[in-house]
A and B are shown apart, each in its own frame.
Chain A
Amino acid sequence: MIIKSKAFYTTAYVFVIFLILICVIPFWLLIAGSVTSEAELLVHGYALIPKEVSFSAFEFLWQMKDGILQAYLMSIVISVTGVSASLVLTTLFAYPLSRKDLPGRNAISLFLFITMLFNGGLVPTYFVYTRLFHIKDTLAGMIVPSLLMNAFLVIMMRTYITSSIPDEILEAARVDGAGEFRCLLAIVLPLSKPILGTVALMTFIAYWNNWTNGIYYIQQKTELHGIQNYLKRIMDSATMLQQQLASSINMDTRSIPTIGMRMALAVIAVIPVLAVYPFFQKSFVQGITIGSVKG
């Protein structure tokens, strides 16, 4: 937009700062919670500035640093593979769908859309993947089920292409003798950088945060688990230890900070996403801004 009104600009400025604050404060609460002693949390609840600082949650986690690093690595492998594959699948599906002249376009849209509404449920999906494709306890089990292509993002991308890339450009390219693949690579992709960045980011988040695939499809080879599954395991064991009802014969469980640890684990899980985000930012979103200024 081209802004000349100072008042509007200031309003937007203040508004954005306000948004940052409402998102940061709870996160700050989380970080504060992760360094507050367990007793303090239980008795006085959460405070923006902890009265009694304790790093016991992080100390407890430090013992598992090797496992955490390994799981990070796994998560990166899973996410990067998944995002790359997903970008290819999504783009290849979205571009033809954006072509209003494609015969059978409505049927294909419906074919895509139905997958968003109806699903067979966990057990049948599990049947298909484990009995037909035998992906149990393989890396594919972490990557393929349910995450590889998101109909929602395909539709978003299709809509973006329809509304942002004028037919005339493609028509002109075709007149110049460019094939469909060439149109896609030379024209559509460069002009679709913002939505590609968004799709990549959303898919990355989905992969990064996913833990259900790890639970359902990885049973024995837990070394294939990514960070979410690993952190979940730590959390489950700490909680179980502390809350064990049946048998009293156990280690001293009072020393395990379960609530503080939950906070610490959340912090650990989120940090890499924050680190990765600016990368997507730079290569896609800013790319288009600069590109369009030039053009």
Chain B
Amino acid sequence: MKKTLSLLLAAAMTLPLAACGSPDAGTDDGRAQQPGTETGAGAENSSSSKAGEYPVLRYNMISVTGDQRAKEAEVIEAINVILREKAHAEIEPVYVNFAEMQQQMNLLLTGGSDSLDFFSSFWYQPVSTMVSNGQVMPLDDLMAEYGQETAALFDGMEEVLDCGRVGDQLYGIPTITAWAVPNIYFCQEADSEAAGVDWSTVTDLDSTTEAILQLKEANPDHYYIPGSTEAYWIPKGIDYLGDQNYLGVLTDPENSTTVENYYESEYFLNLMENVKIWQEHDVICPDPMSNTTPTAGCMRVGIVSGSTGYNWSAEEYVNEANAIQDFGGTVVGTEISPRYITTGNVTTYMWHISPFCKDPEAAMRVLNLLYTDPEVSTLFTYGLEGVTYTLDENNVADYMEGENNLTSGWSGGPSYIVPNSTICPVWKGQSPDVHERIAESNQSAKKSIALGFVCDLEPVSDQVAACTNVIAQYYLPLMNGVVDIDTVLPKFQEELHNAGIDDIIACKQEQLDAWLASKQ
């Protein structure tokens, strides 16, 4: 039986190729003999002879287009020269197309020979899901042996590292970046001056609404809330426990450990009251339900003249934007929520080793260098100096003359996705002391009680599915103010109950309590 099947397969194999005129059969063989890395150029014989001695670790290079980067061969070879020596390993990028990320990552993490060895889970899946799908491996032992320096980065901030922990095991390492990102509001300076807004009084949502009304009065044709199919408000002033649907949140993450129904909380009801005011005064941009451009994008194309957002520092955000005139005119802005470090913020950017990794120890060594070695990290983030970026006399990095992030041949400047961008030179437009200030911001921000708590919603996944569907139906119309909030909100809340939101909240509460107890 088995024999016939394999015979059939053998016959089958030849057929499709023959049918296609097998234009690639020859080259295919050639390819197979190559040692995985595209060291290319062939300039350095010595290095290419070395290639092959070490495991070649594949990682996902998140690329907007999935295009190979023009200067890849040079940059990767430069990185590998160091990695061979310090980590006894080489790396090879696998381009993952942003728009098709979910599907491509699913395929690259199923255990085939083309699987990723280590990867960033940005925009992919929460760590608990990856653990339950068997797509990540535990890192504690590896970290203890090959990643002490990386672990040291989290000294005094162990809770942050814990965000990569599911159960007792560590499955992901957060990137070193700003972990507290309050909500901000920013608008065109011209509008603000016309209205005479005093931004020092704007500190929360209610005062933001007052400022918006002032803006609207002075500039009646302009809009100040980017209503869109992409959410313009992420509740950074609470702890939503890493749940994109906010089903069960801590609204007072400093003091209370009670998991609440977000959609019935004071916080959300107050938000809805503000939306009602916006609705009434026509400050939400027109046709929000058919506008697919998110927040800052709406500012860039001029749909709105003011927008919500979130950033670790409104000041830095506004300065950087103004330095390159990102929004056409000069903008002003301020922070409008408390700054909390929450699991949700931290887990946005994490790195993992897959269980299909050829050599997990080598992968850990590589990750350790990416987190702690400025030279490796800079190569990984900006590419090669003089090839993909330049440094000026103040050690500020910028694209090569006349280049931009599409043409530079490597990447688009600074990035939160890379393991540690805070050991790279600052990029043009950033404050010279931006890295110190990020570190300071991380130190001074309040930590949510639940920082480090990772929820596993697998036991209530049917309810999550049902609630996700209800939210898809009601949430945006409410947020965009295109329905009568007084009648639709109660219906929304009721549908959530029917869909089982209470089970989800109970599940979260139970896990949170157990986690808190274990921390004692």
Binding site for B on A (CB under 8 A): 38-39, 42, 77, 81-82, 85, 88-89, 122-123, 126-127, 130-134, 136-140, 143-144, 148, 215-216, 219-220, 222, 232-234, 236-237, 240-254
Report if A131-B113 is in contact (Cβ < 8 Å); known contacts: A143-B20, A250-B324, A251-B404: yes
Q: How far is the CA of A153 from the CA of B427 in the complex (A)?
A: 57
A143 to B31, CA, bound (A): 19
Report if A216-B103 is in contact (Cβ < 8 Å); known contacts: A127-B110, A140-B24, A222-B66. Answer: yes
Known contacts A130-B112, A132-B9, A132-B13; can you find 5 more A-B pairs with CB under 8 A? A81-B20, A137-B31, A144-B20, A243-B297, A249-B413
Q: A140-B24, A249-B429 are in contact. Are A236 and B99 (CB under 8 A)?
A: yes
Binds A, one of B188-196, B301-309, B441-449, B459-467: B301-309
Q: What residue in chain A is nearest B286 (Cβ atoms)?
A: A43
Stretch at the interface among B144-152, B288-296, B371-379: B288-296
Task: Tell whether, in the assembled complex, residue A215 and residue B103 are in contact, meaning their CB atoms are under 8 Å apart.
Answer: yes
- Range of interface residues on chain B? 35 or more
Query: B36 to nearest A CB, angstroms?
Result: 10
Cβ–Cβ contact B23 & A130, under 8 A: no
CB distance from A210 to the nearest CB of B (A): 14
B506 at the interface (CB under 8 A from A): no
A215 contact set on B, CB distance < 8 A: 66, 97, 100, 103-104
Q: How far is the CB of B94 from chain A (nearest CB, A)?
A: 6
- When chains A and B are docked, how far (Å) is the Cα of A17 from the Cα of B405? 49
Let me know if B174 is at the binding interface, CB within 8 A.
no
- Assess the B415–A247 pair: CB atoms within 8 A: yes
Task: Report the minimal beta-carbon distance from A68 to chain B, rounded to whole angstroms.
Answer: 14
In order of increasing CB-CB distance, the 5 nearest A-B pairs are: A251-B404, A233-B65, A243-B297, A85-B19, A139-B24
Chain B residues near A237: list those with CB within 8 A. Answer: 64-65, 67, 406
A127 CB contacts on chain B under 8 angstroms: 110, 112
In the bound complex, CA of A222 to CA of B302 (Å) = 35
CB nearest neighbor in A for B408 = A251
A248 contacts B317, C-beta separation under 8 Å:
yes
Give the residues in chain A near B380, CB-CB below 8 Å. Answer: none
Interface status of B425 (Cβ within 8 A of chain A):
no
Set of chain B residues within 8 Å of A85, measured between Cβ atoms:
16, 19-20
Judge whether B325 is part of the interface by a CB distance below 8 angstroms. Answer: yes
**A250 touches which one: B309, B405, B416 (CB < 8 A)?**
B405
Chain B residues closer than 8 Å to A38, beta-carbon distance: 301
CB-based nearest B residue for A89: B19
Q: Which residues of A contact B429 (CB under 8 A)?
A: 248-249
Q: Tell which of A136, A222, A247 touches B413, judged by Cβ atoms closer than 8 Å.
A: A247
Q: Kindly state whether residue B326 has any CB partner on chain A within 8 Å.
A: yes
Q: Whole-angstrom distance from the CB of B421 to the nearest CB of chain A?
A: 10
Q: Which residues of B contact A123 (CB under 8 A)?
A: 106-107, 110
Known: A132-B9, A220-B95, A251-B404. A39 touches B110 (CB 8 A): no
What would 28 A/B residue contacts be, using CB atoms closer than 8 Å?
A: A42-B303, A85-B19, A88-B19, A89-B19, A122-B103, A123-B110, A132-B9, A133-B13, A140-B20, A215-B103, A216-B103, A219-B95, A219-B108, A220-B95, A222-B68, A222-B95, A233-B66, A236-B66, A236-B97, A237-B406, A246-B416, A247-B412, A247-B416, A248-B324, A249-B430, A250-B324, A250-B326, A251-B405
Report chain B residues within 8 Å CB of A232. Answer: 99
The answer to whether A241 and B113 touch across the interface, beta carbons within 8 angstroms, is no
User: How far, in angstroms, from A167 to B106 measured CA to CA in the complex?
Assistant: 51
Q: Smallest CB-CB separation from B27: which chain A residue?
A: A138
Contacts known (A219-B95, A219-B114); A81 close to B21, Cβ less than 8 A: yes
Given contacts A250-B405, A251-B406, contact A139 B110 (CB under 8 A): no
The residue on A at minimum CB distance from B100 is A215
Q: From residue A206, how far is it (CB to closest CB) to chain B in Å?
A: 16
Nearest Cβ in chain A — how far from B217, in angstroms? 22
